[in-house]
Amino acid sequence: MTEHRQFRWPQPLKGRSQEIWYGGDYNPEQWPEEVWDEDVALMRKAGVNLVSVGIFSWAKLQPSEDSWDFGWLDRVIDKLGGAGIAVDLASATASPPMWLTQAHPEVLWRDERGNVCWPGARQHWRATSPIFRDYALALCTRMAEHYRDNPYVVAWHVNNEYGCHNRFDYSDDAAQAFRVWCKERYGDIESVNDAWGTSFWSQQMGDFSEIIPPRFIGEGNFMNPGKLLDFKRFSSDALQEFFRAERDTLERITPGIPLTTNFMVSAANSVLDYDAWGRDVDFVSNDHYFMPGEQHLDELVYSASLVDGIARKHPWFLMEHSTGAVNWRAINYRKEEGQLIRDSLAHLAMGANAICYFQWRQSQSGAEKFHTAMLPHAGEDSQDYREVCELGQDLKVLSDAGVARSAVAKSRIAVVFDYESEWASEHTATPTQEVRHWTEPLDWFRALADCGITADVVPIRAAWDSYEAAVLPSVYLLDKANAKRVRDYVSGGGKLFATYYTGISDANDRIWLGGYPASIADVIGVRSEAFTPMGSDIDGVLDHLELSNGTVAHDLADWITSTADTVEVLAVYEAEEWTGMRHVPAITFNSFGEGQAAYVGCRLGREGLSKALPELLAHMHISASDGVPDDRAANTGVLRVERIADEGSGRFVFLFNRTHEERTVDVEGTVLVSSRATVHPGELTASIKANGLLVMAV
């Protein structure tokens, strides 16, 4: 794995100071030119200081193979820059024009059955097509040469949301590239056979030419798990290699302009290995869209924390989110009152020094016409636009106070997330299809918040072993190196929380033998002989297990048959005899070297973990009330986040109401921003309504 590129952040326009970037995608090509001046005026009124331009403009920039038209984009950029609005300029390669795919249909990706993805939407290109690469890099070259000296371009927006629609391609180009990838990874075909366990079902290969993508194998059949996992790795790498080619082409011509591409990090989205991609950008960018319902804020902050982890606590760029409803769900719920501002400042609290939306002006036609925007169909006389203007004022206050020169404070607890464990857990032949890796880290993050602790979400490659305590939540894959990290961490005094479905397989999805979790059995001190799935799909099967601590397990539990002498059992199952789980250990605590390891051998969900955690934290001598003085109890309905200024010269405290009930909080320092909150100066307290917040300088 390569080292991270040197961090480079978009610099302000000449004569302006560094501020929190604020704006969104701008698609002027969708509108007549007489609208552009109105757009710029309304942007200035809202406090917009940056827009992303040209993302889906290939067909307008290159109307035919032999013609180019930069005039319209030149005029737009001049208007924006003249008004003090910087430009994040796209490479425009996200969707090829019709003339290209008509001339070269071989650039179109194919699904697992060999069907062609025809033009009609976007991202209908294959990353492994040498023909498409030539055309895309020619466009990058022309863009870079044309705008190399433009003073208003402060960043390159390379492509757009790689893999959103073309993550997997099963074409012959992909097959050939997959063979090359396997040869580079393994060296010889015998090593591939060993990694994939091809002795099962007579799948041995005698030559790299026999490797094919995991194409359609019939309904109800099961793909080789090792092969499927490697194809997911390859697919992420193939798109990443395409990004590097675009990036390097742009950088060769415009070396002074930082480059990024927008990731799609959320709790449930593991399209690419974004932690690996984070090494290849000058600054990390993310697109995040809210998850409707009661977990809206928690999932947002969890995802933003993961982006902060991918960025290694450098500032990151929120490239897209929504002012309200999106257009692509079955039911597109609107945001509640206050959430437009609250969501943006929650991303800011978690390290985003740029707050941008999709998009500036809501489209009148096309597939995204019902996707909300900063300037909605209703125009400037609308609640959304008024709140967009209010947010612009808030960001200016926070910029002036120095928030952009601060970073998210390191938590005491790291919750570990692993993209490859998620990919492996998605296989269709597992103990239960109700369990995936991604849900457990989110449940732990939320349960810790219920206990007054805002954890850091940390990729497995990052320094999770530098924290006072770390959670390995259903980290299904543990290779030898990470198993050793666990062992060294705990033996050296670290405090570990591990769960069911952790450390089950090695990097190639081959089971560690000896009982689960064999890879770290000495650290945990327990041995499980089998999984106990639970469900409600068949009458009479086990659908839940009650624990002696009052919590309830569902979906999956370990059948722990032995524990080390050093293990203390904190909870057992209170089950009937016929289940085979009566008095089986469910939650345990073990001393290992200088540290401790707690094990939760079942899926408790956020609610069960919230009930179980106080005892576990007490055993670990970890206090709740993260960052709150001992004489003041934590208000666990309020999420507390700190950003620390340069060289520790000050702190910014963000408080967010996690509930629909009004909450009372103590006021610290000077209140900079309040939304749906009332400050009571004489009492040094404030009341925060649902979807409300406070930001204070301390």
Give me the active site residues, please.
Answer: 161, 320
DSSP one-letter string for 543-591: --EEBTTS-EE-SEEEEEEEE-TTEEEEEEB---GGGT-TT-EEEEEEE
Q: Reduced to 3 states, what is the DSSP secondary structure of residue 167?
A: coil
Rounded CA gap, 403 and 672, in Å?
11
122 is in an annotated binding site: yes
Rounded CA gap, 610 and 628, in Å?
19
Specify the residue for token string 């062992």: 487
| Start-to-end C-alpha separation, the chain | 40
Residue 483 host element (H or E): helix 480-491
Rounded CA gap, 649 and 638, in Å?
25
193 is in an annotated binding site: no
328 is in an annotated binding site: yes
Nearest to 123 by CA among 154, 156, 164: 164
Residue 671 host element (H or E): strand 670-680
SS3 content of the chain, % helix, strand, coil (to 5): 35, 20, 45
Q: Reduced to 3 states, what is the DSSP secondary structure of residue 122?
A: coil
The amino acid sitting at 183 is K
Rounded CA gap, 439 and 443, in Å?
6
Distances (CA, A) of 371 to 42, 322, 600: 19, 8, 41
Distances (CA, A) of 104 to 100, 132, 139, 162, 504: 6, 8, 16, 21, 45
CB contact burial 31-67 (16+ within 10 A = b; e otherwise): eeeeebeebbebbeebbbbbbbbbbbbbbbbbeeeee
Residue 142 host element (H or E): helix 130-147
Say if residues 478 and 460 touch (Cβ distance below 8 Å): no
Residue 347 host element (H or E): helix 339-349
Rounded CA gap, 223 and 214, in Å?
7
The amino acid sitting at 52 is S
Q: Which residues are annotated as a binding site?
A: 122, 160, 328
Q: Which residues are annotated as a binding site for substrate?
A: 122, 160, 328
